[in-house]
Amino acid sequence: MAAHLIHLPSAGTAELGAFEPKATAVTEGMQEASREVWSADSLEVGVWEATPGTFAAFRDEYHEVCQILSGSVTITSEGGLGVLVGAGDTVVMPAGWKGLWEVHETVRKTYVILSGVDNAI
């Protein structure tokens, strides 16, 4: 069976799923939406967006690489300093990473998740 190309035009404006409350939000009313573009075995690729607010994040047993498409966010590693990231920035959170995301303006990213890996930190 031949593999086929998967193409999502304009990830920055592509339709996502319905917005829902962010489960790990520290800020009341924060919402998120996403769209899985492709997955296979332990790999997932997609687009994600979140409204302003702060949420806790923990990359338990998976690595995540994301490219920020729009918006801005300060990402603070547990016990570390915050880093302001925005459109065009790439972020890598290895397995075991913990911290906070403070979304200043609605942020959209593409992401690649590699799961089923040992804690790298």
51 lies in some domain: yes
For residue 120, is pLDDT > 60? no
1 lies in some domain: no
32 lies in some domain: yes
9 lies in some domain: no
Is-contact 99 116, C-beta < 8 A? no
End-to-end Cα distance, the chain: 39
8 lies in some domain: no
Contacts by residues 33-41 (CB-CB < 8 Å, ≥ 24 positions apart): 35/8, 37/6, 37/8, 38/6
For residue 119, is pLDDT > 70? no
User: What digits encode the pLDDT tens for the residues 26-44?
Assistant: 999 999 999 999 999 999 9
Is-contact 52 26, C-beta < 8 A? no
121 lies in some domain: no
User: What's the CATH code of the domain at 97?
Assistant: 2.60.120.10
Split into its structural domains, the chain has a count of 1
| Residue 116 confidence (pLDDT) | 83
83 lies in some domain: yes
For residue 1, is pLDDT > 80? no
User: What digits encode the pLDDT tens for the residues 56-102?
Assistant: 999 988 999 999 999 999 999 998 889 999 999 999 999 999 999 99
Expressed as residue numbers, the domain containing 41 is 21-115
| Residue 19 confidence (pLDDT) | 98
79 lies in some domain: yes
| Residue 103 confidence (pLDDT) | 98
| Residue 121 confidence (pLDDT) | 47
